[in-house]
Amino acid sequence: MNDPGVLKDIEKKHRPFATGSQWEEWDKRNCGSCRLGFDMKRGKFRCAHQFALTSAAIGNGEIKESTAKAIGYLENEGCYIWECPGWERGRK
């Protein structure tokens, strides 16, 4: 018998970056200058998308489709670097 609860959390996965260097450049360009970027003083992520991307970079490189959509990957698939739609001017 199949457990329907097991399948409800399955979401399509995407691998937006071919290499760690590509992720690092994207992170620097977007998160590094965003006011929601990593808070170095407190050692905390202020952005769930940056956390998901950093976790993926450390892990298998895959992110959920909802994250891929939120960071603009689905509209820019195949691009090396693109601007995150959630980017906010003014690094704190």
pLDDT, tens only, 12-64: 999 999 999 999 999 999 999 999 999 999 999 999 999 999 999 999 999 99
Domains held by the chain: number: 1
Segments forming the whole domain that contains residue 53: 14-92
Neighbours of 12 (CB within 10 A): 9
pLDDT of residue 37: 92
Let me know if residue 38 belongs to a domain. Answer: yes
Let me know if residue 67 belongs to a domain. Answer: yes
Let me know if residue 3 belongs to a domain. Answer: no
Q: How far apart are CA 51 and CA 85, in angstroms?
A: 16
Let me know if residue 5 belongs to a domain. Answer: no
For 69, half-sphere exposure in the C-beta direction (CA atoms, 13 angstrom radius) is: 5
Question: Is the distance from CB of 33 to CB of 41 less than 8 angstroms?
Answer: no
Let me know if residue 1 belongs to a domain. Answer: no
Q: What are phi and psi of 79, to 5 degrees?
A: -80, 150
* Residue type (1 letter), 59: G
